[in-house]
C-alpha cells in the first residue's frame, strides 16, 4: 500500500510540475490558444464518456462479484 501511495505521489507531483512549467511565456500562449480553440470542451466530452464507460465496467464488475458470493454459498 505504501508503495502505491508513493507511486501516486510521484505521478501527481509530475502533473504539478508539468503545469507549473506551463507558466513560461511560450507555453502560456499555447494554453491561451487551446482555450480559444475550445479544446477544454473536447476534454470534458471525452471525460464524460470515460466516466460513463468506467461506471459501466464497475457495475459489471460488482454484478460478477455478487454472483461469485451467491455461488460460493
Residues near other proteins, by CB under 8 A: 1, 4, 8, 11, 14-15, 18, 21-22, 26-27, 30-31, 34, 39, 42-43, 46-47, 50, 54, 57-58, 60-61, 64, 67-68, 71
CB 66 within 8 A of CB 72: no
Q: What is the sign, positive or negative, of the torsion defined by CA atoms of 35, 36, 37, 40?
A: positive
Of all helices (H) and strands (E), which one includes residue 15? Answer: helix 2-21
Rounded to a whole number of angstroms, the minimum distance from the CB of residue 36 to other proteins is: 14
Rounded to a whole number of angstroms, the minimum distance from the CB of residue 62 to other proteins is: 10
Amino acid at each position: 500500500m505504501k508503495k502505491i501511495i508513493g507511486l501516486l505521489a510521484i505521478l501527481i507531483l509530475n502533473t504539478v510540475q508539468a503545469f507549473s512549467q506551463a507558466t513560461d511565456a511560450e507555453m502560456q500562449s499555447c494554453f491561451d490558444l487551446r482555450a480559444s480553440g475550445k479544446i477544454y470542451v473536447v476534454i470534458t466530452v471525452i471525460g464524460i464518456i470515460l466516466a460513463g464507460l468506467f461506471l459501466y465496467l464497475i457495475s459489471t464488475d460488482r454484478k460478477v462479484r455478487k454472483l461469485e458470493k451467491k455461488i460460493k454459498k
